[in-house]
Amino acid sequence: MQTVTLTIPSISCSHCIHTITTELMSITGVKKVTGDEQTRTVTVEFDTPATLEIIRDVLTEINYEPSNV
């Protein structure tokens, strides 16, 4: 299991966290997603076949590109 905390500048409210959580949980191998709208961070726990690259690509596709990975 890997855990990564992503900084996502385009997060502006709790709906953003909800959207991101729904999208990331649909990736096979993603186990847990928690987000904080105040710090604009999302923490993702994942295992194979999920990878950081896949997670990053999905977020970029929905306009929540992480700035720290």
Q: Coil, strand or helix: which one is 5?
A: strand
* Contact region with Cu ion (CB under 5 A), list: 15-23, 27-35, 40-48, 50-58: 15-23
Token couple for 28: 């096979």
Q: Is 16 in the site for Cu ion (CB under 5 A)?
A: yes
Please report how many Cα atoms fall inside a 13 Å half-sphere around the Cα of residue 34, on the Cβ side: 5
| Amino acid making up residue 62 | I
Q: Coil, strand or helix: which one is 54?
A: helix
Question: Binding pattern to Cu ion, positions 33-52, x when CB under 5 A?
Answer: --------------------
CB of 50 to Cu ion, least distance (A): 24
CB of 37 to Cu ion, least distance (A): 7
